[in-house]
Structure 1
Amino acid sequence: MSKSKPTLPRGTRDFGPEISSKRSYIIDKIKSNFTRYGFTQLETPAMENLSTLTGKYGDEGDQLLYKILNSGDYLSKSSEGDYQQGSKHLINKISEKGLRYDLTVPFARFVVMNQHEIAFPFKRFQIQPVWRADRPQKGRYREFYQCDADIIGTKGIWNEVELTLLITDVFNDLNLSDYVIKINHREILFLLATFVGLKGKEVPFCAEIDKLDKIGEDKVIENVLALGADSNQMKEVMNILSLSEIDQLLSKIESIDSENEGVLEVKKYFEQLGKFSEKNIQVELDLSLARGLSYYTGMIYEVKPTSVKMGSICGGGRYDNLTGVFGLEGISGIGISFGLDRIYDVMEELNLFPEKITQRIEVLVVHFSEETHEHGQKIVMDLRSNGIKADLYPTADKIKKQFNYADKIQTPYTLIIGDQEMESGEYMLKNMSTGEQKPMQIDKIIQHLKG
């Protein structure tokens, strides 16, 4: 019987030591900024009840949820009639759980379940994988990491400003400058929906506007008109969306409704952000930005690289009542999410990772016999206790094989132990790049490696 070659599900990947080190580098930079800004860490299960997940991401999001079959004989509670009624009906009979689609909805569920133990406002960060049954392509995976920071239990434009500063600090720490932070406000979009005659259809209007850079202006207009929009008013909206100057944009919106909450908040946002001009914050108002998730109610963010063809590498926004669907009304929140996998792809393409980033060992202890191997056990532990990443070749193989191994794992140094070294207490330290080697006592070796 022939054995089939092992494969991975499409849209998933393995990460070897080098890639994992680079991903850890990104996570460490993001995490250090999260904690510096006062966010505390939270983790939630990979799976949630489908009742928690469905209805929070819009119809398109619900279709991309990975459902988990009930354990045991999952068909026992279904009938032929259930099958005939279609997959949407049948899934309720055979599946009660799903893999999380994002980290925000599980966070809202956590807040409601732990509301009496939480001190509001509550600032949390979460770095975990999420899953979406999407079509895999460049920058889009079925399993990927999100790095979220949310503030819940408070409402004030400082939250929006603070998250913008956080985004800026993270990308500064990653030496990534080729990006732009685009912001918009759902209240402005809802006003535009009403303006074109789509009051009550604001969410589908937003979903279509969000596709502008993907399917083009003509197709977006066609889709919005199909929702019942007035064609003349829609032309006016497209004219507004084409403007780039912030003052012009806000002036046009004010001419429709000068008391629009979105306009007032965006004005205040830019005023407060102006206090931090020394940070060179790269932010612009983009009224075509809608973000598809249905739970956003206020300001929304999207960060896109400018020199690499890639989707958003960070996004988020204000959600005023996400906890309300779980029974806790009137709790406003706002959050952003960094896309680890896309940030990695951008940094790799722009060659932004430091040269010495792989978490390889600094020195490999090699030896000639069982006796020198036993002696090396104490040496390697001395090195480790002094903060040096060290390893001991595990068996008394030929010395050539040990050196070949050192080359393969790209360790910069080897420490050689023979009978003479054991007696003298001076060990040969070899630079694997130059071939230079000299005998040194262990304390000198430690001092040299710590540099």
Structure 2
Amino acid sequence: MAILPSLVKGMRDYSPLQVCRRNYILSIIRSIYALYGFEPLETPALETRATLTGKYGQEGEQLIFNVLKSGNFLGEMAVPISPTDYRKLKPLISDKALRYDLTVPLMRYVAAHQHQICFPFRRYQVQPVWRADRPQKGRYREFLQCDADIIGSPSLLCEAEILKLIYDISSQLGLQNFCIKINHRGVLSAITDPERETLFCTIVDKLEKIGFQQVVTALQAADFSSATIASLSLLQNCKGNNVERLIQLQAAIGHSDQGSKAIETLTDILADIHTLGLPDGVCAIEPTLARGLHYYTGLVMELTMANKLVGSLGGGGRYANLGDLFGATGLVGVGFSFGIDRLYDIMEAQNLFQSIPSCSTEVLLTNIEKNGTTQLLHLLRQLRVHGFKSELYPQKVKIKKQLTYAHKKNIPFVIIPEEAASVPHCYILKNMQTGVQNRYSWSELFDALRTALVSTC
């Protein structure tokens, strides 16, 4: 019985064209990461559960993909546990999990190699992550993240550099109507009980998804005070440019130590990114921006689109205590992560792939009866030696079928070798877009093809 060719929900195949376009996005991101002095790092797909758990908050922890232990793990349990009590069951049947993000594995790596690393450590990482989320548009269970982090420096210049890096990548990709939202966790800490800050930020982080009134309802259900909810409403109603919003924040939370420090930090960062050349209006203070991950302690940031075609294209922030969990006390960091899948979706919606050259075959070498295999293979070899992406049609079939193949694959040029009485080695070079074809000798062919390819770019 044939197996139904179905995909696991939340997972996707990528066609050759999609891979080519994704590689284009990745090439831009990697080149700018390198321009900013970041070094590449890779970590395993599997981490121990101890590494991942307790870092993302209660909701994030429920989305971790746990991997079952090998063998008869149920038979080895000393005390039977009801399958419905999954929180107690998980650590007994699973000791490994797929990574949820790239930041926690980064800090695990840094803690393990802290005596060999040169700090500040600037690393970038491009790898897939997995989340047991409910699949929907723009949200997948497997997706590729592109992180850039600076570990080991508390300087706000690190935040400024990350923000300028986000702008440079977004601009280089050609994104239209993007905005970088920023906030400081101290803004939200100033209006709630410090011991309940994590829960408060987790609920407020849903504001874009469920709306303000639903957030208020959730806060009331969690027994947050009316004063906290009123203060959140005040933050929600902050309007105007960044200078005006800072003035409103000063009036709302400037009386508290946390609020005052947060406002000072935001002010300094805005001055630094202006000096770095980030245009006014691109970076906007959003006083209710929370970022739901448990480990953020300072500035938080998010790349969004003005028209809300998709959710955030990336996010990040400052974290001060994550290293402590791995024995690297006092090791702070700040970083940002791009989500390639959402970047792809928005670039496709904005028709930004039209001018990107295809990474497929540039020239097809036809195979017809009168051409010997040795001659064709020699020509194919020379095409590749000269750097042309080329392929030979494998069977000797009618030329019409081979031209149809080239058309379907969007191959721009076709070479048809022919034997003319006056010219022993004559080659027809056909432009598949215009239909124009010209004859060239062996010595002329490669220069003609290179000129033709340049003219079509």
Give the TM bin, normalised by the shorter chain.
Answer: over 0.9
After TM superposition, the structure 1 stretch with the greater mean CA deviation from structure 2, 121-130 or 275-284, is 275-284
Q: CA deviation at 1:400?
A: 3.3
Q: Which residue of 2 aligns with 1:391?
A: 391
8 Å contact kept, 1:68–1:96: yes
2:214 counterpart of 1:219: yes
Q: 2:454 is matched with which residue?
A: none
- Taking the aligned partners of 1:411 and 1:230, their CA distance within structure 2 comes to 65
The worse-fitting range, judged by mean Cα deviation, of 399-408 and 151-160 is 399-408
Give the Cα–Cα distance (whole angstroms) in 1 for the partners of residues 395 and 78 of structure 2: 62
In the alignment, the residues of structure 1 paired with residue 421 and residue 389 of structure 2 have an alpha-carbon distance, to the nearest angstrom, of: 21
Asked whether the 8 Å contact 1:188–1:253 carries over to 2, the reply is no
Q: Cα offset for 1:116? A: 1.8
The answer as to whether partners of 1:40 and 1:125 remain within 8 angstroms in 2 is yes
Cα distance in structure 2, aligned partners of 1:71 and 1:401: 53
In the TM superposition, residue 207 of structure 1 has moved relative to its aligned partner by 1.1
CA distance in 2, matches of 1:422, 1:122: 67
TM-score scaled to structure 2, two decimals?
0.92
| Residue number in structure 2 paired with 1:23 | 22
TM-score (structure 1 length as normaliser): 0.93
- SS of match in other structure, 1:125: strand
Contact 2:302–2:314 under 8 Å retained in 1: yes
Residue 374 of structure 1 is matched in structure 2 by: 374
Classify the secondary structure of the residue corresponding to 2:115.
coil
Equivalent residues of 2:320, 2:331 under 8 A apart = yes
Q: Deviations over 1:405-443 (max 9, x none)?
A: 222212111111244499722211111223322211244
Distance in 2 between the 1:103 and 1:433 partners? 44
CA contact (8 A) 2:305 2:312 kept: yes
The aligned amino acid for 1:235 is A
- In structure 2, C-alpha distance between the alignment counterparts of 1:49 and 1:31, rounded to whole Å: 28
Compute the displacement of 1:10 (Å).
Answer: 0.6
The corresponding residue for 1:111 is 110
Give aligned-pair identity as a percent. Answer: 39
Distance change in 2, residues 1:303/1:150 (3 Å): same
| Distance (Å, rounded) in 1 between the aligned partners of 2:421 and 2:10 | 52
The amino acid that maps onto 1:416 is I
After superposition, residues 41-440 of structure 1 pair within 5 angstroms as 41-78=40-77, 81-83=80-82, 86-193=85-192, 198-244=193-239, 245-257=244-256, 260-277=260-277, 279-280=279-280, 282-369=282-369, 372-420=372-420, 424-440=424-440
In 2, are the aligned partners of 1:246 and 1:284 still within 8 Å (CA)? Answer: no
CA distances 1:145-202 after superposition (whole Å, capped 9, x unpaired): 1000000011111111101100010011011131111101112211111xxxx23101
CA RMSD of aligned residues (A): 2.1
Which segment is superposed worse, 142-151 or 410-419? 410-419
Aligned length: 446
CA distance in 2, matches of 1:252, 1:447: 70
Q: What CA distance in whole angstroms lies between the structure 2 residues aligned with 1:354 and 1:268?
A: 40
Query: CA contact under 8 A between 2:187 and 2:253: conserved in structure 1?
Result: no
SS of corresponding position for 1:146: strand
Tell which deviates more after alignment, 221-230 or 150-159: 221-230
Deviation at 1:84, TM superposition (A): 5.3
Higher mean C-alpha displacement, 366-375 vs 86-95: 366-375
User: In structure 1, the residue corresponding to 2:80 is in which secondary structure?
Assistant: helix
Distance 1:179 1:422, change over 3 A: farther
CA distance in 1, matches of 2:34, 2:137: 31
Give 5+ residue unaligned stretches, structure 1.
none
Asked if 1:449 is matched to 2:444, the reply is: no
1:20 maps to a residue whose letter is V
Contact 1:240 1:252 in 2 (8 A): no
- Per mean C-alpha deviation after superposition, the further-off stretch among 356-365 and 321-330 is 356-365
Contact 1:372–1:419 (Cα < 8 Å) also in 2: no
Residue by residue, what CA displacement relative to the aligned partner does 1:5-51 show, whole Å, maximum 9, x if unpaired? 21000111111011111111111111110000000111111111111
Q: Which residue of 1 aligns with 2:33?
A: 34
